[in-house]
Every structure is written in C-alpha cells, then in structure tokens.
A = this chain, B = another copy of it.
Amino acid sequence: GVDKKILVIPGDGIGQEVTAWGQKVLETIAVNYKHNFVFEEGIMGHVAIEATGTPLPDETLEKARKSDAILFGAIGHAKYDNDPTLKVRPEQGLLKIRKELGLYANLRPIKLFDELLEASSIKPEILRGADILFFRELTGDVYFGEKKRSEDRNTASDLMIYHRYEVERIARKAYEAARSRRKKLCSVDKANVLESSRLWREVVQELAKEYSDVETEHMFIDNAAMQLVKDPKRFDVVLTANLFGDILTDEASQIAGSMGMLASASIGDSVGFYEPIHGSAHDIAGKGIANPLASILSAALMLDISFGLKNESLRVIKAVEATLKQGYRTMDIANKHTENHYVMGTDAMGAKVLENLN
C-alpha cells in the first residue's frame, strides 16, 4: 500500500455536504486496498472569511503545500454575489490557492454514463459516444491580470494577458493527452479579435508541428460554444484559456447529464487539486439534496492522476456506474419519465456508492 497525506477543503455551500462523501470513498478504498491515507482538514472561502477574515488563511495554504493531494468542495456565497462592492471575497481564496500551488492545468473530462442518456436536455442520438477531455488553463488570463477601478468608480478593467510559456506548458499537456486518446486536439480562442488569442494560436500552431501525429483544429470560442451543443462527438481533447474554459466546461456539463456529475483535476508544479465543477449552489445548500457523485468522481481522479492508482480509480467509477444502474438518483439526474428510479438525497446516494465499493 501507499502512504498519502490528503487535505480536505469542503469550502462553502453544498461543498460541505458532498465533500464528506468524496472523503468517505477515499477512506473505503484505503481500507480495501490496504493504503494509508491520512486526512487533514482546511478552511477556505466564505467560511474562512467568517472565521479568520481572509478567504485563504496561511494555515490552509501551508497544509496544502505539505499534502500529496487536495480534495476541494466549492466556493461562493450569495452575500458577495449580491454586493459587488465588497472587497474581501470567497473566490479570491480559490484563485490564490490555484496560483500559489502552480495549478496551471485544469482537466475536465466530460463523459456520459449510459444510464444518464435521458437526463440531458440534448437528444440521446447527439450525445451517445461523446467523450471530451478539456484542458483549461488555470493560472493566467483575465482572471489574474491587473484589475483596476477608477477613483470615481465609473470605470473598471481587467487585463486579459498571456505569456508564451503559459500557453506552451498547458498545450503540451493537452497534446500528450491527445496522443493517448483519439489523437485530435481542438484549440479554442478568439484570434479574430483578441491579441492574447493570437499569441495563443501562434504557440499552438508551433506545437502542432511537433505533435504532427495529432490532428490540430483551431476554433473561435463563439463557434465552439455552438458546436458543443450541436455535435459534441466531434471533440476529443479541447484546449483553451481560463475564461473560455470556465464557460465551455459548464456548458458541456449538459453533455454529461448534469453538473452534479462532473469532476476536475488541477495539476501543475507538484500537488494535485481535485474538485467538482459545480459551485456552492446556495439555493440548495443545507437541504441534503446535492449530488455527491462529482465529489466522488473527483476522488477517483485523485487516485488515478496524483497517486497512480488506476485500479482503485476504476473501482470507484464502476461503483458509481453500478449505483446508477440500480436506479438510484439524486434530484438533478432523475428523469420523471423513467420508471424504477429511486430519487434520494446526498447521504443516501453516497451510502449506495459505498455499498457498491465493497
């Protein structure tokens, strides 16, 4: 067995409810496969602001640096969404930890479980077989460029900026992944309007020569947002910038039936960071109805990518699949037109997955 230190950061809203199940799955895997996983907990986001005045306390960052992998929940709170003038904001914690840990590559695999073919608003025949791996750049772009507000508060700006090395390192990771998949890479930008996108396209064009065994396509973001709904099967690996990736991957959640199904891995310099794509969802927080599968699948990604435990990772995915096959559903993936569906809350659903792990 392996020895690993895992930092758990539940964060805000439904993060608290779902992350518990990602952790329980890791604990069960540790027992079943005789690994030694040691868990610590850290705070971040609105809960950290309430407790310490800052969205990412130094203590959490220190624990993060010392861990082998991080399981994160979600961030954000209605209070800040409703008051854009607040200076200290939960999301700053997430952005800061991404930057500090050098998590420049955000991997978002989009794959539909057959059982959920009917849960999407998109037609089954359009979805069947869709399998996309997004590489979203995560530590650059307009997220991290200088932000300004004029003294009279009437003008506000954010700098959308990219450096060549930032594009190159994520593009390489995406090309490497494409090689072990269907050998197709689609780079998404807005090079017909943006200078930062023109740099992006130049860099990818250069790398395309080096990875000539991979078929490279360039697509404008507006077209990509359309093609993703129109014909998701045309995509294999999609490579894109931080902001465009944020938008496209949320949109792509409909390909997987629900946002509540999607996990992500953020990697880079050293430690890996695993989180559901969904947010804190204040509207349903505390109700015990959130889907725990995205957190559980994030744990599966951790086992595979950070720990190299492919069998264990696959075991978790199979347990999720089995649970869906048995007809168990949280609200977001329930289909009212299907019989033999048992709609349940977060904890009941999590418990079913655990049963299927044993």
**A contacts, CB < 8 Å to B:** 76, 80-81, 84-85, 89-91, 95, 121-123, 126, 142-143, 145, 147-149, 153-165, 190-199, 201-202, 205, 218, 221-223, 225-226, 228-231, 243-244, 246-251, 253-254, 259, 279
Contacts and interface: CB of A to CB of B under 8 A. Distances in A.
A105 to B, nearest CB: 18
Contact of A84 (B89, B153, B191, B228): B191
A191 B81 contact: yes
A157 B156 contact: no
Nearest to A218: B81
Given A81-B192, A91-B192, A201-B84, A159 B157 contact: yes
A195 B158 contact: yes
Contacts of A223: 250, 279
A285 to B, nearest CB: 15
Nearest to A229: B254
A145 B161 contact: no
Contact of A121 (B149, B159, B229): B229
B230 A121 contact: yes
Contacts of A221: 246-247
B192 A80 contact: yes
Q: Which 10 A-B pairs have the closest CB atoms?
A: A156-B199, A84-B198, A222-B250, A157-B161, A225-B251, A147-B195, A154-B164, A121-B126, A229-B254, A84-B201
B251 A229 contact: yes
Contacts of A159: 157-160
A330 to B, nearest CB: 16
B161 A160 contact: no
A193 B192 CA distance: 25
Given A81-B192, A95-B193, A192-B81, A230 B247 contact: no
Contacts of A259: 226
A153 B198 CA distance: 11
Contacts of A80: 192
A308 to B, nearest CB: 31
Contacts of A253: 226
Contact of A202 (B84, B163, B246): B84
Contacts of A250: 222-223, 225-226
A218 B282 CA distance: 14
Contacts of A228: 251
